[in-house]
Amino acid sequence: MPTILQQSFSVPFRYPVVFTENLFTENQSLFVDQFPEGQLARVFFVLDSGVAACHPKLIQQLKNYVAAYPRRIELVAEPLVVAGGEACKNDPEAYQRMVEATHLYGIDRHSYIAAIGGGAVLDMVGFAAAIAHRGIRLIRIPTTVLSQNDSAVGVKNSINTFGKKNYLGTFVPPFAVFNDFTFLETLEDRDWVSGISEAIKVALINDLEFFEWLEKEAPALARREMEPMKEHIIRSAQHHMAHISGKDPFEFGSSRPLDFGHWAAHKLEKLSDFRIRHGEAVAIGIALDSAYSFLQGRIAEGNLIRIFRLFHTLGLLLYVPELQEEALLDGLKEFQEHLGGRLTIMLLAALGKGVEVHEMDHKLIVKALHLLQDWEDQHALR
């Protein structure tokens, strides 16, 4: 007779998401205050090359900050600068160099890796931290709108493999997240606005009042006004965090509401050889699924136009030449494979209310694509 032992246990996860400015000013102890008292925290800083270029004094600032708290924090080694953008997730040597650094510098499970950069760098460094020693504590310091309002506050880490986005990855909560708004000041305009698409995503599927606020504040956001940007980031982060603390934080099922608009976006990024930023691709993906929802009679034409106009006000395109029919439908198939089972797509039942479906009509997808192309032809931004 077989012997079967049942094992069951739960592990609580807790981490702070801090919103601040000038995090590494020497007289601000907010960063070191997150470490356990009475212990010297050994920290290895990893910087996005784009951030390092825009903030040439940052490495010295980090050293000065650590020197100001000699009994609380020390540098494991010189801060490491890594390639920024999606390139770091496409290059397998990038995360391997990170893992090698943990070996060379004796970075153990009681140490900390603090990643400063955009979402791609945080993904790659987080993946390396998760697999080295079966998990080194990760501190995320996101520097883009998209990473501050969405990806950095979550539990995902990944790299791209086999030409597929996020094919290798882990679910590991960070030790802490620090959203320093001052890093946003040096962003290019396209990075400033494209990250807002993730906030539009959660508003459309979950919060009509937030969507209406985004409509109202879109001109100010497009003008790079900081106060509405801060408020939008905090509200968006709250929505993403609320989802993570729900019933399926590690995505064991096929229901992924926060992937609204993403099945097409992931494919589009690859088709453009990552010329198109993730946030830009998500805007197009949201517009496509919104148009599909309209064609199915789920939302009114007037509401679809409101969605299109919001993206247009922010300066985001709704159609690009890379978005071809056959490749787009291949993207739907790849997305289902990524889910690992039943196809589940989030659509709109109304503004502020999402609805899941398990089938997509290919002819309607193509028709929705043509709606986007027609809109862009009539309202060309560039």
Tokens standing for residue 286: 């949201």
Sign of CA dihedral 222, 225, 230, 235: negative
Burial class (CB in 10 A: 0-12, 13-18, 19+), 10: exposed
**CA 153 remoteness from chain centre:** 8
Taking CA 372 as the corner, what is the angle to CA 368 and CA 373, rounded to the nearest 5 degrees? 115
Residue % of the chain over a pLDDT of 70: 96
Q: How far apart are CA 316 and CA 278, in angstroms?
A: 12
- 302-356 pLDDT per residue, tens: 999 999 999 999 999 999 998 888 888 888 887 777 666 678 899 999 999 999 9
Band of pLDDT at residue 382, cut at 50, 70 and 90: very low
Task: Give this prediction's pTM.
Answer: 0.92
The CATH code that applies to domain 189-378 is 1.20.1090.10
**In residues, how long is the chain?**
382
Report which of 144, 314, 352, 148 is spatially closest to residue 231, judged by C-alpha positions.
148
Looking at the predicted structure, is the pLDDT value of residue 20 above 90?
yes
Topology given in CATH for the domain delimited by 17-186: Rossmann fold (3.40.50)
> What percent of the chain shows pLDDT beyond 90?
77
Cβ 28 vs Cβ 182: under 8 Å: no
β pairing state of 112-117 and 137-142: parallel
Say if residues 160 and 123 touch (Cβ distance below 8 Å): no
pLDDT of residue 139: 98
Q: Could you read off the pLDDT of 68-110 as tens digits, one per residue?
A: 999 999 999 999 999 998 899 999 999 999 999 999 999 999 9
Residue 253 has pLDDT above 60, yes or no: no
Q: What is the per-residue pLDDT for 379?
A: 83
Residue 246, pLDDT > 80, answer no
Query: What does the pLDDT read at residue 248?
Result: 65
Rounded to an integer, the average pLDDT of 286-297 is 97
Strands 345-350 and 353-357: antiparallel
The domain ranges of the chain are 17-186, 189-378
* Crossing angle between the packed helical segments 196-206 and 301-314, to the nearest 10 degrees: 160
Residue 284 vs residue 342, higher pLDDT:
284
pLDDT value for 63: 97
- The number of beta carbons lying within 10 Å of the beta carbon of residue 352 is 17
SS3 371: helix
Burial of 97 (0-12, 13-18, 19+ CB in 10 A): middle
